[in-house]
A and B are shown apart, each in its own frame.
Chain A
Amino acid sequence: MTSTLDRPSSSASIEPPKPLPPRSPIGRVRDIFTSPRSGPVLVTALLFVAVFLIGGARYRGFFSGQVFLNLFVDNSYLIVLAVGMTFVILTGGIDLSVGAVVAVSTMIAASLLQSGWSPGVVIPLILVLTSFLGLLVGLMIHVFKVQPFIATLAAMFLARGLCYVISKDSISINEPTFVALAVTRIPLGGGLSITPSVVIALVVVVIAVWVLGFTRFGRTVYALGGSEQSGILMGLPVARTKVIVYVVSGFCSGLAGVLFSLYTLSGYPLTAVGTELDAIAAVVIGGTLLAGGYGFVLGSVLGVLVLGVIQTIITFEGTLSSWWTRIFIGGLLLVFIILQKVLTARRR
């Protein structure tokens, strides 16, 4: 039954089955670039390489392995967030609550650790709580037919409000295990190193790629984004899938919160304001169609890296003020949306 579905595959050259005349190699390359599934991802990859090369040409010390690895070190939490957001957006939904959930996770972590709880209890507790919040949001969306936008907005208010209930001041984290995790560098040889957070983020990415590409649940997620009605008619578990993607997003937000608290070693109620926009922007720049149905987790990771490299260039430039970051991200977002529009329009 599900085998009639387009199986999302990592090889980008799969074409919809239709009789095509034999194509020249150039034509085939053009097909890959104009496919709504692989085109935007490839463009993002090219863009990333181009921006990185430009940075390397302009600034001394930019073109180093550590600068590249730091993109992962500084954005590990955003990678995890973008992974969760990819699941939601693939079904055609949206999750506005992720930034606030990151903040509330850092608050829970900081306040519980301060009162002497063990990290071995605190971290699973956070993940369970945020997944539960995701479950509530998913049920609200599915059972009560509340639009995802509004349901996750309510969750955002709730999470942000709970931050202030916990404390309105910044709480620092002194717990030895957390501090040790935060300062540990894993050497990769040649003077390069990464943090444990990067490893966690990459594990999440690998699991997400496997789930979306090679499991029944993953295929249902794509099918739901393609057409919910058809999914129901095909007998796919639409209700369950629709709820679970929000649980996945809640879980990822909680994990991102833990990573973020490792990164900053504190909990602060106003932290991560607007991070949901960064996550959505990364997913869109990574080539996931906002209407759902098309996209890759690896694309979203590329999207995060593009945002990171822009940030790095602005830091290296030194004279450019921080607000240029927002303008650049907005501009990039626009370019990519129009690109997607053009690509999908040509296909129809």
Chain B
Amino acid sequence: MNPTLLRAVSSRLFWPIVMLVILVAINVVAFPDFLSITVTDGHLFGSVIDILRNGAPTFIIAIGMTLVIATRGIDLSVGAVAAISGAVACSILLGSPDPGAVGTVIVAVAAALVTSLVLGLWNGFLVSVIGIQPIIATLVLMTAGRGVAMLITEGQILTVDSAPFKSLGSGFLLGMPVAVVIGAAIFVVAALLTRRTALGMLIESVGINPEASRQAGVRARVLLFAVYTFCALSAGIAGLILTANQTAADSNNTGLFIELDAILAVVIGGTSLAGGRYSLAGTLVGALVIQTLVTTVYTVGIPPIVTMVFKAAVVTAVCLLQSPATSAAVGRLRYRISARTSRVKEAAAS
């Protein structure tokens, strides 16, 4: 092994990318047409496109989650927020005389997003003003949130028949599925806002030491409000996509366990739950790994209900490979190799 390879191995993105490549390779072996993309009616179709589309809601939430985790926080309420957002949109659409009109859909979507925004402010308030641990502060909304969604839908599954709303979930824009376009747009906005300005660094500084960054003049409280609100907003958007995909708001099942998938995507992408640094590109890789894994389970012909066992295996593998114990072992290996090369050089010189 040469040093360049060793440096690549110790990069945080190395193992997730290896995992992704292995998964894609398995798919290509099992299903040679896996990577092919066909164009029908100006829309792109293919397994890869499917992975992107089905993974979009998780990815969108994972972007928000990345920033929250960068502040050493966590947001468990995203699934509940997604359910509430879908419930609000569907109940407005059902209550209106003309659910198919574009204007109605815009009103419904706007109302859902404003609701998500308020829920995000609530989380931000609990974490930054009252100072509750994030995992517990958001547990409150996670527990109560689905109850609230049930309250909005009065315990029913609301089925809506609205073409413009449906296109959020299954429509196409510029040849790509709308959900993928939305995901890409949010990714670009988040990346530009946090990496082209000092915002990302400030968020990381809050994650490393909130007190020190406050004394250095960073407005930690405002930043915490901002990341939780952004996370809830992305959860609301994901909830709309999920609801539009099913054309129904199901308070119990919309976005169920999505918080876990989103957190996994972030962690697989190499962002530490201890906060202080994050990688949006890593989150993208993480979300792709999770969705490709799910698709692989289908294509290879393993019963889809066993997916969770494989998810557990991948999570465990990635976590163990990224752990300090493993990198210490890699470090020892690198040391031994460099010691051996220098000994060989000495031998050659003498």
Assess the B132–A338 pair: CB atoms within 8 A. Answer: yes
Q: Chain B contacts of A151 at CB under 8 A? A: 319
Assess the A153–B326 pair: CB atoms within 8 A. Answer: no
Cα of A168 to Cα of B319 in the assembled complex, Å: 29
Q: Chain B contacts of A165 at CB under 8 A? A: 305-306, 309
Q: Chain A contacts of B151 at CB under 8 A? A: 323, 327
Q: Chain A contacts of B310 at CB under 8 A? A: 161
Interface string of A60-90 (1 = CB under 8 A from B): 0000000000000000000000000000000
Cα of A341 to Cα of B146 in the assembled complex, Å: 25
Interface string of B43-82 (1 = CB under 8 A from A): 0000000000000000000000000000000100000000
Assess the A154–B135 pair: CB atoms within 8 A. Answer: no
Q: Chain B contacts of A161 at CB under 8 A? A: 305-312
Known: A145-B324, A150-B273, A162-B309. A331 touches B144 (CB 8 A): yes
Assess the B150–A154 pair: CB atoms within 8 A. Answer: no
Instruction: Find A337's partner among B136, B142, B316 (CB 8 Å cutoff).
Output: B136
Assess the B155–A323 pair: CB atoms within 8 A. Answer: yes
Q: Which of B9-17, B196-204, B259-267 contacts A (4 or more CB under 8 A)?
A: B259-267
Assess the B144–A329 pair: CB atoms within 8 A. Answer: yes
User: Which residue of chain A lies nearest to B272 when distances are taken between CB atoms in the complex?
Assistant: A147
Interchain nearest-CB distance for A160 vs B (Å):
5
B145 at the interface (CB under 8 A from A): yes
Cα of A157 to Cα of B139 in the assembled complex, Å: 19
Assess the B325–A149 pair: CB atoms within 8 A. Answer: no
Cα of A338 to Cα of B145 in the assembled complex, Å: 18
A155 at the interface (CB under 8 A from B): yes
Interchain nearest-CB distance for A93 vs B (Å):
11
Assess the A164–B267 pair: CB atoms within 8 A. Answer: no
Assess the A149–B74 pair: CB atoms within 8 A. Answer: yes
Assess the A334–B316 pair: CB atoms within 8 A. Answer: no
Cα of A286 to Cα of B222 in the assembled complex, Å: 32
Interface string of B303-336 (1 = CB under 8 A from A): 1011111111101100110011110000000000
Q: Which of A19-27, A119-127, A201-209, A277-285 contacts B (4 or more CB under 8 A)?
A: A277-285
Known: A145-B325, A161-B307. A330 touches B147 (CB 8 A): yes
Cα of A211 to Cα of B260 in the assembled complex, Å: 33
B137 at the interface (CB under 8 A from A): yes
Interchain nearest-CB distance for A35 vs B (Å):
20
How many A residues touch the partner, as a band? Answer: 35 or more
Cα of A44 to Cα of B145 in the assembled complex, Å: 23
Q: Chain B contacts of A338 at CB under 8 A? A: 130, 132
Assess the A153–B263 pair: CB atoms within 8 A. Answer: yes
Assess the A326–B144 pair: CB atoms within 8 A. Answer: yes
Interface string of B122-136 (1 = CB under 8 A from A): 000010001111011
Known: A277-B139, A337-B132. A324 touches B147 (CB 8 A): yes
Interchain nearest-CB distance for B78 vs A (Å):
15
User: Which residue of chain A lies nearest to B252 when distances are taken between CB atoms in the complex?
Assistant: A323
Cα of A154 to Cα of B267 in the assembled complex, Å: 12
Assess the B273–A147 pair: CB atoms within 8 A. Answer: yes
Interchain nearest-CB distance for A103 vs B (Å):
11
Cα of A150 to Cα of B317 in the assembled complex, Å: 12
Cα of A158 to Cα of B148 in the assembled complex, Å: 30
B140 at the interface (CB under 8 A from A): yes
Assess the B130–A341 pair: CB atoms within 8 A. Answer: yes
Instruction: Find A330's partner among B130, B133, B140 (CB 8 Å cutoff).
Output: B140
Assess the B143–A281 pair: CB atoms within 8 A. Answer: yes
Assess the A168–B143 pair: CB atoms within 8 A. Answer: no
A-B contacts besides A145-B324, A157-B312, A330-B145, 11 pairs, CB < 8 Å: A144-B325, A157-B315, A165-B305, A165-B306, A280-B139, A323-B146, A323-B150, A323-B155, A326-B144, A331-B140, A333-B139
13 cross-chain CB contacts under 8 A = A144-B323, A153-B264, A157-B315, A158-B312, A161-B305, A323-B150, A326-B143, A327-B144, A327-B147, A329-B143, A333-B136, A333-B143, A341-B131
Using a CB–CB cutoff of 8 Å, the interface residues on chain A facing chain B are 94, 140, 143-147, 149-151, 153-158, 160-162, 164-165, 168, 277, 280-281, 284, 290-291, 321, 323-327, 329-331, 333-334, 337-338, 341
Among all A-B residue pairs, the 5 with the closest Cβ atoms: A330-B144, A161-B308, A161-B309, A326-B147, A323-B150
